[in-house]
Amino acid sequence: MASSIVEKFQSMEYGPAPEDPSEVNKWLDAHKRSFGHYINGEWTKVTASFETRNPATGELLASIAQGDAADVDRAVKAARAALPAWQALTGHQRARYLYAFARQVQKHSRHLAVLESMDNGKSIRESRDIDIPLVARHFYHHAGWAQLLGDLTNSGFDGEEFRGYTPVGVVGQIIPWNFPLLMFAWKVAPALAAGNTVVIKPAEFTPLTAIAMAEIADEVGLPKGVLNVINGDGATGAAIVEHPDIDKIAFTGSTEVGRIIRKATAKTPKKLSLELGGKSPFIVFDDADLDSAVEGLVDGIWFNQGQVCCAGSRLLVQERVAERLYDKIRARMETLRVGSPLDKAIDIGAIVDQVQYDRIQKLVAMGIAEGATCWQPEIPMPKNGLFIKPTLLTDVHPSSTVAQQEIFGPVLASMTFRTPAEAVELANNTTYGLAACVWSESINVALDVAAQVKAGVVWINSTNLFDAACGFGGYRESGYGREGGKEGMFEYLVPAWTHHAQKAEVVAEAHTDTSKADDNGSAAGVGIDRTVKQYIGGKQARPDSGYSFPVYNREGKLAGEAPLGNRKDIRNAVEAAGPAGNKWAKAAAHTRAQVLYYIAENLIQRREEIVRKLADFVGEAQAEVEFDSSVDRAFTYAAWCDKFEGSVHNPPFRMVTLAMKEAIGTVAVLAPDDAPLLGLLSLILPAIAMGNSVIAVPSERCATVIGDLYQIFDTSDLPGGVVNLVAGRPTELGKTLSEHDDVDAIWSFRDDASASMVKLGSAGNLKQVWTNEGRAIDWFDPKRAEGLWYLQHATQVKNIWVPYGE
């Protein structure tokens, strides 16, 4: 006996330890293995349906109703009808429902874990120990936010944390199949906590745990219509996206579908958050604890069969330790167990569906054809079911398909680097920006690299850690918006005043008539002293077009001429803004504050002259107030520079999470027509205060205002290229800016048409879009025209997880 234990210890072999599926089978049978939609607290009859199968066995689990536009419409109507009563509850009452969800998830935890593993193919170890506890945690955490939001009044929530904010309304949510229940929790908990009602669609491969959660909604007595679950495929998702009475879409899935959704919602004021794909780097420096890094890698790429948007799918290893690390990885891969997801002792379960299985195999074959070396361990594999061996690809070229495309499978693509700078360059050599891991025993190296990697989440000496208090979400083509944390709550809230704002008036573009101007920029036959140029890279520049356009005063008399910008001027401005912004973002906040104070002081110096010119357009009374408010605004944002800071979270692990507020990059601004100076500055100032560079297009109504501004910027130590001013036709310049790949965000504060145009144009590189949705903003009211709402849009949160303490 003793010797057999020793033998077993040495061989580390153990038999199967299957989890019992009989309770889940009983539940499925009790429902006759057929499920409808959950609309207005009722289950619908199943007419058209699709099947969901266990990918490990091929066994049919259930038939599921396929939702169409009429089903979606009924669900939206139910959600809309439920909204007033739901919002009339106190924060505490809403919190009680969320607590009840959390408790029920804990009570039914094994049922949910087994159901998840059967439907998705993920190992029971993961669904039981990771997914379900995180689901409960998410509901508990957001029950807390519901409590703290307080009660909803006409002027927004009265709790301290989100005072003045109000729910966005009816929310449409579409989730993927890789973490079906966790994604359900990530979407539903904050939406309900913030006083919204929900229509959610789980992915067609994995609908069962969302259905089980709808049953829980019934059990906890959630008011009818507050949560509606519609089943179906992409067409059902599209019906949600296109429904006119939905106020916000929250989507997690592929970048390709994210783009479709961006375009489909462009003509509407729907708020949008996108959590998309990734190709996250897993960077190992030569001073890293290599054994820990290998364990991290097992979690990084073989967790959930690699079907993880933030999977560490690109291994970047410092050349000196590459072979040593590969040996360790291969040795560890030999011990990974692939098999039945319900076996408690397996590491890697089944791939969710045949389509996905075939795609992974095809991509691996492409990687090999493009020169990669493929290695797989000799380990026992199940005879049937959709199983793929853990796979290591070495000698991968940074530009090859497997280094660039998301594989969403248990496949690791590896490359080497020599210096930290090269590591950062390789890490950022992707269109994505979801997550990154950095392994180094040097805190300097690790934090330095974390700051430079373009990713929403960075794990230092760790991987794939999640917590409800720590926001999760991407940079660049990995999408925008955060889930979790306070920033995640803001995705489901809007400033209360936006609900009762008027439409913005926009002056027709008749002004940019160049017929009266010659190419020297002076109006034919009219003597004027004001010929303004573009301001690009810190220099005054003639417009590429060689044309200027006349700008008229209130009486319709010529007041000056402004340069007529075109796409080449925009191109030059973008080229200047990129590098200038990089440096500016790294400058100390204190330095940025001083420049903004200097701008305010220099404005004051030229008060008389600027007010005189402004009065020509807006009248004397407004000119004075507008000027003084502009100075105030500059002081306010100078003050904010070193105060709108990040925070530190304490997740329930031995980690701290540094939630850093980072600049977005190059921000394009289309300024409003009213309050020509104040409106323009109200958008430029928060952007530069937070370390962005700006390309701003002024209102054409008084585009000559840029002449005053660049003289101020020139004398205020603002580095060249941080603010670029390009006058011209806002619709034309806005279109170019929205489509430009090197512009990272676009803010349009004009009319509905401009808002739609920039949203459509943004779909290419999925730049962040922020617009007034065509609403007028009272630029003279600091409650509406400055502060938190602006600062939030000028930053994105990067969560850096750092091991800390015992």
Residues annotated as catalytic (active site), given as ranges: 275, 309
Contact region with ligand ADP (CB under 6 A), list: 187-195, 252-260, 531-539, 571-579: 252-260
Residue of the chain from 119, 204, 487, 662 that contacts ligand ADP (CB under 6 A):
204
Interaction between residue 665 and ligand ADP (CB under 6 A):
no
Are residues 627 and 610 in contact, defined by beta-carbon separation less than 8 angstroms?
yes
Interaction between residue 238 and ligand ADP (CB under 6 A):
yes
Which residues are CB-contacts of 800 (< 8 A; sequence separation ≥ 6)? Answer: 447, 450, 457, 458, 460, 657, 658, 660
Interaction between residue 144 and ligand ADP (CB under 6 A):
no
Note the helical H segments in 108-179: 109-120, 124-126, 132-149
Residue of the chain from 241, 372, 677, 687 that contacts ligand ADP (CB under 6 A):
241
Interaction between residue 546 and ligand ADP (CB under 6 A):
no
Place of tokens 């205060």: 689
Type and span of the H or E element at 22? helix 22-30
Nearest C-alpha neighbor of 121 from the set 200, 66, 61, 63: 61
Across the beta sheet with 42-43, the strand order is 42-43, 38-39, 227-229, 197-201, 170-174, 248-252, 271-275, 479-480
Interaction between residue 482 and ligand ADP (CB under 6 A):
no
Q: Smallest gap, in angstroms, from Cβ of residue 229 to ligand ADP? A: 12
Q: Smallest gap, in angstroms, from Cβ of residue 220 to ligand ADP? A: 25
Contact region with ligand ADP (CB under 6 A), list: 37-45, 60-68, 257-265, 739-747: 257-265
Residue of the chain from 233, 395, 422, 425 that contacts ligand ADP (CB under 6 A):
233
Residues 168-187 interacting with ligand ADP (rule: CB under 6 A): 174-176
Residue of the chain from 257, 412, 599, 703 that contacts ligand ADP (CB under 6 A):
257
Residue of the chain from 106, 254, 401, 582 that contacts ligand ADP (CB under 6 A):
254
Gap between the Cα atoms of 292 and 275, Å rounded = 29
Contact region with ligand ADP (CB under 6 A), list: 236-244, 454-462, 526-534, 581-589: 236-244
Task: Give bridge partners of residue 540 from the DSSP assignment.
Answer: 535
Residue of the chain from 237, 281, 537, 563 that contacts ligand ADP (CB under 6 A):
237
Task: Give bridge partners of residue 108 from the DSSP assignment.
Answer: none
Q: Is 621 exposed, middle or buried (0-12, 13-18, 19+ CB in 10 A)?
A: exposed
Interaction between residue 274 and ligand ADP (CB under 6 A):
no
Question: Closer CB to ligand ADP, residue 241 or residue 684?
Answer: 241
Contact region with ligand ADP (CB under 6 A), list: 158-166, 255-263, 459-467, 600-608: 255-263
Gap between the Cα atoms of 598 and 612, Å rounded = 22
Q: Smallest gap, in angstroms, from Cβ of residue 184 to ligand ADP? A: 11
Question: Closer CB to ligand ADP, residue 25 or residue 254?
Answer: 254
Contact region with ligand ADP (CB under 6 A), list: 254-262, 527-535, 604-612, 664-672: 254-262
Interaction between residue 203 and ligand ADP (CB under 6 A):
yes
Q: Work out the end-to-end distance of the chain between its first and last CA atoms, rounded to an integer number of angstroms.
A: 38
Place of tokens 């105030």: 632
Question: Closer CB to ligand ADP, residue 233 or residue 632?
Answer: 233
Place of tokens 């691996």: 364
Q: What angle do CA 574, 490, 458 make, to 5 degrees?
A: 65
Interaction between residue 211 and ligand ADP (CB under 6 A):
no
Q: Which residue is nearest to ligand ADP (CB)?
A: 237
Question: Closer CB to ligand ADP, residue 352 or residue 564?
Answer: 352
Gap between the Cα atoms of 403 and 603, Å rounded = 51
How many residues contact ligand ADP, by CB under 6 A? 16
Q: Tokens representing 498?
A: 């936006």
Question: Closer CB to ligand ADP, residue 201 or residue 613?
Answer: 201
Q: DSSP letter for 646, please.
A: -
Nearest C-alpha neighbor of 225 from the set 248, 189, 249, 199: 199
Cα-based torsion angle of the residue sequence 559, 565, 570, 576 in order, rounded to the nearest 10 degrees = -50
Q: Smallest gap, in angstroms, from Cβ of residue 310 to ligand ADP? A: 13
Interaction between residue 201 and ligand ADP (CB under 6 A):
yes
- The residue ranges that bind ligand ADP (CB under 6 A) are 174-176, 201, 203-204, 233-234, 237-238, 241, 253-254, 257, 260-261
